[in-house]
Chains A and B, each alone.
Chain A
């Protein structure tokens, strides 16, 4: 019998860059999202997953993670709620949890 324990990214052999983003976005799995979210102090709910899925679909279409404005305008999720779901810099936080790079939007 095995007991499912929460693994760390290290145990899974997942590499992060200096800012905590996945070095290889192809490594991403929902399990990894859960681990990164936990590190951020976030327990993922269905609503969180709606945002994560939107962000990943956007990435597939555009080749880069969406800015906060793209999530609110295209994904239809109010900014205020995004800050509640992913406190402190939601665009960056979602991108990290969704296994993508750092969103642009600031140069």
Chain B
């Protein structure tokens, strides 16, 4: 038997495991999945938890239930990857050999990297919704917040789901309006980016939407430290922003094991071939999901499209054929904009989000880069799709490679 080892049973790792074992070419292969923790989180749910939308069981389920029964499952910390010996060494001393290794170790938030953030005011006046515990604590804080300045701050890019902080701002506007407190709550969005989003056209559209909702944007704000007693953020160029309630999106780093293996960049992300997903410098190690250093969004949709690409190429890999450069950076995100509406964006490495209809040209039903109720329902429906179809390895009717069909091109696409 040949051995394929997946590090990480998150969205990418779990989906891949379920997809692989269904393939005819999987015959003769043995699957091992290694992860340090037992809970699988529906991370898009972290955005809605603070607003009282989901219960715990909607977003947390055992990883084991979602992995194929034929897979060997090891719950242990990875000490380091030893490509020279083609094996993974675990913290408890075990050694797991592989023929093919898939790194899907994701990324985590590191509030301890910003002075003042994770100190005595952490989870009191300083919050995050990027962890389960943080999202639950923030729900309590929002319920009791009656007036003052709510500041949403991105510490540093890249982050998981780069639209989530914007969605949080839109939902906060809706939430406080609904409670009749909006005129007493000021909402400020402080970002290191030059505008609301990373891509020009979407940034303009979303920037206008923020202005409409009376959400103030402070751009190019690079936070150096937080003063938890004076309740202010201080940037490297000495600007200050006061807050009453801070919602921080802390620094994101890849897994420590990647650093210990000396395979990561300065963020512990693994340098990855942008089209084949092979780890640079290796022919038997692939990287999927948030663990890569690719200039694609760190998002579930990207992980899903990468799994499609990997599965397609795995057949060629087994047959000894050259890998096809299939991955195009495709990303597809629902953006909740509040009031029961949402915006859908679809883009890749080279094509920025464009207006149009998705997935069927002219028909939709989902409009691109425009607010609509259908997009909001699409996002809610996705919760069911995630647990019951995506993780289980059922194919979804969205192609891995981005399609230009249905997109309106007004100007030259850069």
Contact = CB atoms under 8 A, between A and B. Distances in A.
A87 B235 CA distance: 12
Most B Cβ at <10 Å: residue of A73, A82, A107: A107
Contact of B236 (A73, A79, A105, A106): A79
B235 to A, nearest CB: 8
Interface residues of B, number: 19
B237 interface: yes
Nearest to B349: A107
A80 B297 contact: no
Given A83-B236, A88-B237, A105 B265 contact: no
Nearest to A69: B266
B266 A73 contact: yes
A68 B297 CA distance: 19
A69 B236 contact: no
A74 B266 CA distance: 8
Contacts, number: 39
Contacts of B220: 88-89
Interface residues of A, number: 17
A19 to B, nearest CB: 10
| Secondary structure of the B contact surface, majority rule | loop
Interface stretch (B83-91, B141-149, B155-163): B155-163
Contact of B295 (A70, A87, A88, A104): A104
B296 interface: yes
Interface in B261-296: 265-267, 295-296
Contacts of A104: 295
Nearest to B271: A62
B280 to A, nearest CB: 10
A24 to B, nearest CB: 17
Given A69-B156, A70-B266, A80-B224, A107 B162 contact: yes
A73 B265 CA distance: 10
Contacts of B158: 105-107
Contacts of A69: 156, 266-267
B193 interface: yes
A96 B222 CA distance: 19
A105 B162 CA distance: 12
Interface string A75-107: 000011011000111000000000000001111
Contacts of B70: none
Given A74-B266, A105-B158, 20 more contacts: A67-B266, A67-B267, A69-B267, A70-B266, A73-B266, A79-B224, A79-B236, A80-B236, A83-B237, A88-B237, A89-B220, A89-B222, A105-B157, A106-B157, A106-B158, A106-B192, A107-B158, A107-B162, A107-B297, A107-B298
